[in-house]
């Protein structure tokens, strides 16, 4: 069931509460926002609900994947093995960081076939990106074993499987990082939005900067922030975050 089928007065009220502060941006304006930080609240709720140490909201599932790849050090010329049965965004995100998507077959689970993954590994392979399609789950034990054997990164595209679990753990929280999409047709929607989840603080800090022009977010004065690395505007707005929170 897509999240938009559960639209109610609660969302309308919460969106209005944010509008009344006049602050629609997730960063800065500390004095005017009456203590309302909806994006931060949603990140904390995601960590709590799905059992992830860190969560970084983004403007979409696609930008969440690009952000995760960049933070994980996937870049120009690297090969990322990903299934042929997916939505185009999975390989768009690989291309967005200059890497090369290597498409492999799926099996009866609708997700990537671990034997096909093994056959696709080359000296340029940097990461394996399973896509948990339509609420199903990839064979994570097999993929983790391959990643350990070949020292590869494991990034989960869980955009279509919010809330599904593999051996008691939520999909998207098992690999080095994982992503959800909160677009309009997803199980949980913000209208538009996404998230990167990770248990690794360094990866999280990079995600935090990458989604906001590389800002380090260390001081109270946004204008005085340093920009230790390159980033883009992949921010979520407070209006979108509050819909997700409801
Ligand atoms: C498997 C998968 N990955 C990524 C995305 C991208 O999500 P978004 O539409 O939020 O950019 C989608 C969206 O449909 C998807 O199905």
Atom of ligand 1 lying closest to residue 182 CA? 10
Q: How far is CA 106 from CA 117, 131, 206, in A?
A: 10, 10, 31
The pTM (predicted TM-score) of the whole model is 0.97
pLDDT beyond 90 at 2: no
The DSSP secondary structure of 169-190, one letter per residue, reads EETTSSSSEEEEE-BTTSSS--
User: Is any ligand 1 atom within 6 A of the Cβ of residue 82?
Assistant: no
Catalytic residue, chosen from 38, 126, 186, 206, is 186
Is 156 touching ligand 1 by the criterion CB < 6 Å? Answer: no
Q: State how far the Cα of 125 lies from the Cα of 214, in Å rounded to an integer.
A: 27
Q: What spacing in Å lies between the alpha carbon of 129 and ligand 1's midpoint?
A: 14
Ligand 1 in reach of 3 Cβ (< 6 A) = no
Please give the distance, rounded to the nearest whole angstrom, from the Cα atom of residue 88 to the centre of ligand 1: 8
Q: What is the CATH number of the domain that holds 41?
A: 3.40.640.10
pLDDT, residue 1, reads 72
For the segment 67-71, the average pLDDT, to the nearest whole number, is 98
pLDDT of 245: 95
Check if 57 has its Cβ closer than 6 Å to any atom of ligand 1.
Answer: no
- Which residues contact residue 62 at a Cβ distance below 8 angstroms, ignoring those fewer than 6 apart? 89, 92, 93, 96, 181, 194
Q: Residue 8 has which token pair?
A: 């109610």
Measure the CA angle with vertex 79, ends 76 and 84; round to 5°.
130
Tell me the pLDDT tens digit for each residue of 71-125.
999 999 999 999 999 999 999 999 999 999 999 999 998 999 999 999 999 999 9
Greater confidence, 220 or 232?
Answer: 232
Q: Is the pLDDT of residue 6 over 90?
A: no
pLDDT band at 4, cuts 50/70/90?
Answer: confident
- Rounded to an integer, what distance in angstroms lies between the CA atom of residue 111 and that of residue 104? 10
| 38 is an active site residue | no
Mean pLDDT score, 22-49: 95
Half-sphere exposure of 172 (CA within 13 A, CB side): 33
Predicted local distance difference test score (pLDDT) of residue 220: 84
Q: What is the mean pLDDT of residues 6-19?
A: 91
* pLDDT, mean over the chain: 96
Q: How many domains would you assign to the chain?
A: 1
Residue with tokens 């990322």, as numbered in its chain: 80
The response to whether residue 86 sits with its C-beta less than 6 Å from ligand 1 reads yes
Structural domain range at position 47: 3-245
């Amino acid at each position: 069931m897509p999240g938009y089928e559960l639209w109610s007065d609660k969302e309308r009220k919460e969106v209005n509460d944010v509008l009344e502060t006049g602050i629609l941006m997730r960063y800065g304006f500390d004095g005017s926002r009456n203590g309302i930080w909806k994006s931060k609240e949603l990140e904390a709720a995601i960590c709590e609900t799905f059992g992830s140490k860190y969560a970084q909201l983004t403007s979409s599932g696609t930008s969440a994947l690009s952000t995760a790849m960049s933070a994980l050090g996937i870049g120009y010329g690297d090969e990322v093995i990903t299934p042929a049965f997916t939505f185009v965004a999975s390989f768009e995100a690989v291309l967005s960081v200059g890497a090369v998507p290597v498409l492999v077959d799926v099996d009866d689970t609708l997700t990537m076939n671990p034997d096909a993954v093994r056959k696709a590994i080359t000296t340029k392979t940097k990461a394996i990106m399973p896509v948990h399609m339509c609420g199903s789950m990839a064979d994570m034990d097999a993929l983790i074993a391959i990643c350990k054997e070949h020292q590869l990164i494991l990034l989960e595209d869980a955009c279509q499987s919010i809330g599904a679990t593999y051996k008691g753990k939520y999909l998207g929280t098992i690999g080095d990082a994982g992503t959800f999409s909160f677009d309009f047709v997803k199980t949980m929607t913000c209208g538009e939005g996404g998230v990167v989840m990770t248990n690794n603080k360094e990866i999280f800090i990079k995600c935090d900067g990458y989604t906001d022009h590389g800002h380090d977010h260390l001081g109270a004065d946004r204008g005085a922030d340093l920009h230790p690395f390159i980033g883009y505007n992949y921010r979520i707005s407070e209006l979108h975050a509050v819909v997700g929170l409801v």
